[in-house]
Amino acid sequence: MESAFTLSTVIEEEDWDPIFVLQWHCFKDSPQISVFHPGGHDPAEREANIFGLKIGVFGGPVERAYAKLSDAQTGNITSFISCRVWRGPLGIIDGEYATPPPPVELPRVKDENEREFLEWYWTSAGKAMRETKEMQVPHVYIQVLCTDPTWQGHGAASRLLQWIFDFAMKEHLGSCVLQCSPKNKTFYERFGFKSMGTRTFIDEKLFPGRIGPTAVVMVKHM
């Protein structure tokens, strides 16, 4: 049976805009998307947001593994996955990336109180994730998996997950790790991921009454 999708690991320059729009439509209600890409695909913010996507999701000082799926008939991008790859014998704490990154800064968030809380939250969440046991061995961290809502249920996410599982096995990486919202936990369990616990960040002294987004840490051993 002919596949409905074409898989490619090459992101062309003309792909960035549709990939950003796809991500925004998939996750526009996610706190992370609204914080790191304020204004969404509003023309005034679009260029800055696409630049942020290139660096934050597909670039940065880490090795990446990513792929896109396109509609075999139209060529339109239907879904993509982007992952961080850690190969060292001690995973994330090994070698060049052992030094913790600087605190998160969000200068595009205009409200000072909101900016302080969000910077604290994302810095705390990143530190906790780096210290997770499953991150201390060679692994793949699935940062984003996104499918056009009109293509959900057609096997796009399954194909991309199988692609990254095959990549991890071929490269002798011990596990695939991700964070997801509680509502998506069951979806990933269907692919063999196990929950390692749920995280919510609260600091009543610094930010009384404020609670950061809840995330489920999941792992699939290869």
Beta bridge partners of 140: 85, 176
Specify the pLDDT at position 94: 55
205, HSE (Cβ side, Cα atoms, 13 Å):
0
pTM (two decimals): 0.86
The reported pLDDT for the residue numbered 177 is 94
Q: pLDDT value at position 218?
A: 94
Give the chain's residues under pLDDT 70.
Answer: 1-3, 31-35, 38-41, 89-100
pLDDT at 1: 37
- What is the domain partition of the chain in residue ranges? 5-221
CA distance 12 to 73: 18
Helix, coil or strand: residue 27? helix
Query: 5-221 falls under which CATH superfamily?
Result: Gcn5-related N-acetyltransferase (GNAT) (3.40.630.30)
Which single residue is written with the structure tokens 């096997």? 155
The dihedral of CA 160, 162, 165, 167: what is its sign? negative
Q: Residue 58: which residues within 8 A CB-CB, separation 6 or more?
A: 11, 64, 66, 82
